[in-house]
Amino acid sequence: MPRISKEIAEHSLRIRANAKPVKQRLRWFDDERHRAIEEEMAKLLDAGFIREVLHPDWLTNPILVPKKNNKWRMCVDYTGLNKAWPKDPYPLPHIDQIIDSTIGSELLCFLNAYSRQKNLTN
């Protein structure tokens, strides 16, 4: 995210060493979908959420899903990358309950999600 130091939060992928890179074949889109993809990419680039990289080993196509307001929602097909990712031995339990418990709160610190586990170990 823009203006957040990499020392505070930086994401890296822990892909299995023996994983074979997946390169999806290029899909062609009609003019309307192509325009929707360009608009969404421009918004993400301007906001600083994404940047252009030349990475020929792992390539995936955008997927456009129709919204109720007749616009398009752009998603990314991470199926190949997910298969190369090691399984998480400690998934978050009851994530839906954690999210539901924030209803009505003005602010939520992500550290709150760890408070229960921390209290159990002390």
Mapped onto helix, strand or coil, the DSSP state of residue 81 is: helix
> Does residue 23 form part of some domain?
no
> Does residue 78 form part of some domain?
yes
pLDDT tens per residue across span 63-91? 899 999 988 999 888 888 888 888 877 77
The CATH number for 81's domain is: 3.10.10.10
pLDDT at 34 over 90: yes
Contact 73, 64 (CB under 8 A): yes
pLDDT at 116 over 60: no
- Residue 52 and residue 21: Cα distance in Å, rounded? 19
Higher-confidence residue: 69 or 117? Answer: 69
pTM over 0.75: no
Determine the structural domain holding residue 80 and report its residue range: 31-88
From residue 85, how far is each of 12, 19, 20, 79 by CA, in Å? 12, 8, 11, 10
pLDDT tens per residue across span 11-23? 677 788 888 888 8
